[in-house]
Amino acid sequence: MIDLYTWTTPNGRKVSIMLEELGVDYTVHAVNIGQDEQKSPEFLAISPNNKIPAIVDRETGLKLMESGAIMIYLADKFGKFMPKEAEARAKTIEWLMWQMGGLGPMLGQAHHFLHFNPGKAEYAEDRFGTETRRLYRVLDKQLEGKDYIVGDYSIADMACWPWISRYEWQQIDLSDFPNVKAWYQRLLARPAVQKGYHVPKKMGEIPTGD
């Protein structure tokens, strides 16, 4: 049994989508980051960086923070969504790291400046808006002629998708990135993606991509 500590954000949804795809038992613990629950001593003991998501594997006692590390752990533990062959595994981790080091942090900044605080910092809006569009172009190129980011459906797809689902906050029109749009809607059709998106609670409908 896995305990998942999470909230209604892209980083949290990556892990709930993966757990739904794995079809394993897990218990959800909502950590309301809007009310600073991530700063409680109880949560700090599980996630020393005070951020969701985090898991506890009740079978082993392992406590783990950082969504990328959690996804690699779960893929290895359950033997799914990560190729075993060395090169394909490295390529999957490459795109997972691209999400962790680029797509997530940059789009997160775009949310702050373009969506929540427009008009406050022209430089930041330009910088993170430009970088967001560049990252969409990179993903669009990677998806050319492919259904998934690397080979079969993998943790690389599950890591990127929740960030793309906030395309409206990023002032992105998905029709400018046709491969991303087709991939976004391909994943959206998966029941596990829809279920995992609404963990720990439903905040609204999932953007359709149109």
Ligand X SMILES: N[C@@H](CCC(=O)N[C@@H](CS)C(=O)NCC(=O)O)C(=O)O
C-alpha span between 132 and 18 (Å, rounded): 24
Q: Is there a contact between 57 and 36 (Cβ–Cβ < 8 Å)?
A: no
With CB under 6 A as the contact rule, which of the stretches 61-69, 130-138, 150-158, 182-190 interacts with ligand X?
Answer: 61-69
C-alpha span between 145 and 159 (Å, rounded): 20
**HSE (CB half, 13 Å, CA atoms) of 93?**
14
114-144 exposure pattern, b = at least 16 Cβ within 10 A, e = fewer: beeeeeeeeeebeebbebbbebbeebbebbe
Which of 2, 18, 52, 93 contacts ligand X by CB under 6 A?
A: 52
**Closer residue to ligand X (CB): 66 or 147:** 66
C-alpha span between 5 and 62 (Å, rounded): 14
Which of 20, 29, 51, 164 contacts ligand X by CB under 6 A?
A: 51
Q: How far is the CB of 165 from ligand X (least distance, A)?
A: 13
Q: How far is the CB of 210 from ligand X (least distance, A)?
A: 26
C-alpha span between 18 and 64 (Å, rounded): 15
Task: Say whether 55 sits in a helix, a strand or coil.
Answer: strand
Which of 3, 37, 57, 66 contacts ligand X by CB under 6 A?
A: 66
Joined tokens for residue 79? 């033997």
**HSE (CB half, 13 Å, CA atoms) of 91?**
13
Site string (82-121) toward ligand X, x via CB under 6 A: ------------------x---------------------
With CB under 6 A as the contact rule, which of the stretches 65-73, 74-82, 120-128, 162-170 interacts with ligand X?
Answer: 65-73
C-alpha span between 97 and 90 (Å, rounded): 10
Task: Say whether 156 sits in a helix, a strand or coil.
Answer: helix
**Closer residue to ligand X (CB): 52 or 143:** 52
Q: How far is the CB of 33 from ligand X (least distance, A)?
A: 4
Q: Under the criterion CB under 6 A, does residue 38 sit at the interface with ligand X?
A: yes
Which of 9, 92, 142, 170 contacts ligand X by CB under 6 A?
A: 9
Q: Under the criterion CB under 6 A, does residue 56 sit at the interface with ligand X?
A: no
Q: Under the criterion CB under 6 A, does residue 11 sit at the interface with ligand X?
A: yes
Residues lying near ligand X in the complex (CB under 6 A) are found at: 9, 11, 33, 38, 50-53, 66-68, 100
